[in-house]
Structure formats: C-alpha cells, structure tokens
Amino acid sequence: MTEVPIQWLKNHHAFENPKSKLAAELFPPGLPQQIRRIHSEIPGYRMSPLKSLPRLAKRIGVGGIWVKDESARLSLNSFKVLGGAYAIYQKLLQRGGFSDKEMSLRDLLHLEGGRREKLGHPTFATATDGNHGTGVAWAASKMGFPSVIYVHSLTTQDRIRGIERQGGRVVVVDGNYDDAVRQASLDAQKNGWEVISDTSWEGYEDVPKWIMQGYATMFVEAQEQFAAQGIQRPTHLLVQAGVGSLAAAAIGFYSVLFEDNVPLSMVVEPTEAACLYESMRIGDGKPHSITGELDTIMAGLACGDPNPLAWETLYNCADFFAKCPDYVAAKGMRVYSVPLAEDQFIVSGESGAVTLGALMYMMEYEGARELREAMGLNQESQVLLINSEGNTSPDEFRSVVWEGSLPVPEDFKIHVKEDED
C-alpha cells in the first residue's frame, strides 16, 4: 500500500500556551544579536539569502513562501557550521578561562604564544550524517585544531569526502547515526577529546545548548530580511527535524521574540526516522527513541534518539508534528530546482526540501484539508521554510533531480490544470 504524503498530530499541550524554560534561557533579549556579531567575524561571513516564491505561493493558496537558503552558508552548503563554530568558540573560552569580552572569535583565529598555550591541544570529535561533521571539521581547522568525525555505515562517500576536505579524520561505525553518537562519546572519553554534539544526554548539556544558540544567527538575519519586505514576522514556520535541535532553535527563537503573537509551527520528519512524532504520539510529555535502520534519503534527519533538551522546547511550543515519506522530499527538491517563472531558483538537498514538499501537500492534497484548516493556512499566510542544505551529496541529488528517482506515486500526484504553469 502506498504511503500517504503526510501524517500529522496536533500538540494540544502547546495550544495551552506553556512557556519553554529552555527557549527563554537560550534566547534572552540581545543574545541572538550578539551571536550574530560573533559569526560575522568569521572570514567570508555574509547573510544567507531569504528567497521568495510568490508564484508558487499564489498557486497553492498562501500569501507568501519565504526560504532561508542555507545552501549559500560559507561555501559549506549547510547551516550546521553556525552551531559548530559557536560551540567550539565557547568551549575554547571555557578551556582558556577567557570571557567573550576579552577574547573574540577573531582573536581566536589569530591567537599565538602564551594565550594559545592556555587553550591546550584539544581534538574535537562528533558524530554526524554529514553536515554537522563538515561544519565542526571546518571550524576546528580554521582555529588550528584537529577533529575526528564519526559517521554511520550508510553515509555516502560524497559526505565523507566533504568532511575530509575540511580537515576532519573520518571514522565509519557499523549501525545507524545513534550508534555513531555513542561510539564518538566512548572514544572521546577514552582519548580526552572534546565532544561537539548537537544532541544531549545526562551530564552533557552545555555544548548542545551552544549549538542551538548558534543557529539563532539565521533567524536574526531572517527578521532583518523580513523587515526589508515590510513583514513583521512569518505567520507560519515549518522546520525539518532529526534530533530536533534546529526545530527547537527556530521555534524557541520565535516563541521568545513574539511571545504574544507566536507564528504557528510544525515539525516535519521522515517517516522512517520520526522519533519526535512518535514521542508526540505516545503523549506522556517525554522524548522517546525509535529503533531500526532509519533508512531514509533525508540523511541529515535520520535520527532515532531525540535531543532531550530540544524536546523540552518542542513539547511546549511546537503546534504540530508531521512525518512524510521520501517522495515528498524528492518532490520538494525538484520544485526548488525547476521553479515557476519569476520564482527564485534554489538548490536543495534531501533534508532541505522536505518542508516545501510537505507544504505543497498540505495545501493541494484533499486528504490534508483538516490539517490546513487547523493551521489556518490561507491567502494571508506568510510561511517561512529553511533550506538547511544544498547539494551535499551530488550522486543522490542527481538521482532525484536528473533521473527522477522517488517519483510521486500516481495516487498522490497533483494534476496541473491546462491554464496553469
């Protein structure tokens, strides 16, 4: 039986308007802007574009589709470097006993002599499906330190080579992403390495918090870009999720910034790796893991263990949870790469495109009528999506966009009228 394009749950707890203690801690007034200033010291920094798809928005019946395009971030094709670089910066301040007032990121990039010796000789380690490890390897290398990056056995050679190009030593672990996380932690403890993980566990919370804070730069930029368009804020926010750190950062940021008028939000996961959806389905307010191969084309989202820190924010603030099969992400990739006339072209990888595919089905698929009505999606809606990665796995990208792999099943094709583009 063909899998439906979107399954969803309403988070009734979030609609009772509880506050996220973590979001308030991570994004107090002024700190996101300070983090953005820190990132601006990275050589080559510039804002990633906020792209508009007005023709597609009109066709599917929303007021605007806005895409924060992270495929342009620092030539690394992903937003992940924002979290990794900020976490490494904070860890080095901690090791050297410095404050951010006496040691800027620019200072760290050129540190010599006794002050350099105070940092010691750390090796940074992490587990990844590709993008996070590339960002950590790049940031560690820029600051003059080695890195060891753990990947699972299904990681593509394109992603592995991308990590190695940034100076990371790659270790392949049998099993899935969560097995790589555990092995990286064990080896780091044995070797005295510093772990830069975007998920938390008991006794390990500072670094994942720093990583989520680092992602705030995207949304500070986005708000400046919205203001230039005369838009105060997005009305809706769709964010993809693996362990949930990006989704929690996005939704947490907006829940603090617009406390009394928060955008409606949805967390979107692959059907084969929907640990947050499953946690919401169980409904006891706790994060729950799923097991199995987590076999999805959305490699950056193939996670079975939720980040417990991220779950605190998502349970309190995320309005809806959804899961989609791989063909929805593949459709999103193709739509981004072949836009309607006047819409902007976007290169989006498998994990970056699933929210666009989900939005299109929410608006055009008859089986999603109840969902779009529950979310209040209409011609007044201004929807923010995050293209979290570009073409980070060229073989997979060409397979989908050139060869047409993972086609939309016949039962779920949206047939175009003759007078439409």
Task: Name the active-site residue from 51, 69, 91, 129.
Answer: 129
pLDDT tens digits along 263-292:
999 999 999 999 999 999 999 999 999 998
pLDDT tens digits along 92-122:
999 999 988 888 888 888 877 777 888 999 9
Q: Are residues 271 and 225 in the same domain?
A: yes
Name the band, by pLDDT with cuts 50, 70 and 90, for residue 416: low
pTM of the model: 0.95
**Residue 210 maps to a domain:** no
What total number of domains does the chain contain? 2
415, pLDDT greater than 90: no
Distance CA 199, CA 310 (A): 8
Q: What is the mean pLDDT of residues 378-405?
A: 95
What's the pLDDT score for residue 110?
80
Q: Are residues 309 and 235 in the same domain?
A: yes
**Residue 421 maps to a domain:** no
pLDDT tens digits along 52-108:
999 999 999 999 999 999 998 998 989 999 999 999 999 999 999 998 888 888 888
Percentage of residues in the chain with pLDDT exceeding 70?
98
**Residue 374 maps to a domain:** yes
**Residue 114 maps to a domain:** yes
Q: Are residues 318 and 358 in the same domain?
A: yes
**Residue 359 maps to a domain:** yes
pLDDT tens digits along 165-197:
999 999 999 998 889 999 999 999 999 999 999
Residue 146's Cβ-count burial label (10 Å; 0-12, 13-18, 19+) is middle
Among candidate residues 149, 180, 204, the one where a domain is terminated: 204
Q: Are residues 196 and 227 in the same domain?
A: no
What's the pLDDT score for residue 108?
83
What's the pLDDT score for residue 129?
82
- DSSP string over 130-184: SHHHHHHHHHHHHTT--EEEEEETT--HHHHHHHHHTTEEEEEESS-HHHHHHHH
Specify the CATH number for the domain of residue 344: 3.40.50.1100
Among candidate residues 177, 204, 231, the one where a domain is terminated: 204
Q: Are residues 313 and 229 in the same domain?
A: yes
Share the mean pLDDT of the chain. Answer: 94
Within its chain, how far is the Cα of 358 from the centroid? Answer: 16
Q: Are residues 402 and 257 in the same domain?
A: yes
Residue 341's Cβ-count burial label (10 Å; 0-12, 13-18, 19+) is exposed
**Residue 420 maps to a domain:** no
Q: What is the mean pLDDT of residues 23-43?
A: 96
Q: Are residues 136 and 55 in the same domain?
A: no
pLDDT tens digits along 242-267:
999 999 999 999 999 999 899 999 99
Regarding predicted confidence, which is higher, 230 or 415?
Answer: 230
Among candidate residues 204, 225, 257, the one where a domain is terminated: 204
* 398 three-state secondary structure: helix
Name the band, by pLDDT with cuts 50, 70 and 90, for residue 418: low
Q: Are residues 57 and 185 in the same domain?
A: no
Q: Are residues 89 and 162 in the same domain?
A: yes
What's the pLDDT score for residue 106?
86
What's the pLDDT score for residue 293?
85
Phi/psi class of residue 84: alpha, beta or left (left: φ > 0; alpha: ψ in -120 to 50)? alpha
* 325 three-state secondary structure: coil
Distances, alpha carbon 308 to alpha carbons 50, 151, 196, 202, 285, in Å: 30, 21, 16, 9, 11
Q: Catalytic site residue 129?
A: yes
Range of 53's domain?
A: 7-76+215-412
**Residue 417 maps to a domain:** no
Task: Name the active-site residue from 51, 68, 80, 323.
Answer: 80
130, pLDDT greater than 80: no
**Residue 267 maps to a domain:** yes
Q: Are residues 85 and 71 in the same domain?
A: no
Q: Are residues 31 and 59 in the same domain?
A: yes
What's the pLDDT score for residue 417?
56
Q: Partners of 112 in the beta sheet?
A: none
Q: Catalytic site residue 419?
A: no
Distances, alpha carbon 24 to alpha carbons 64, 169, 221, 259, in Å: 29, 36, 19, 10
Q: Are residues 132 and 54 in the same domain?
A: no
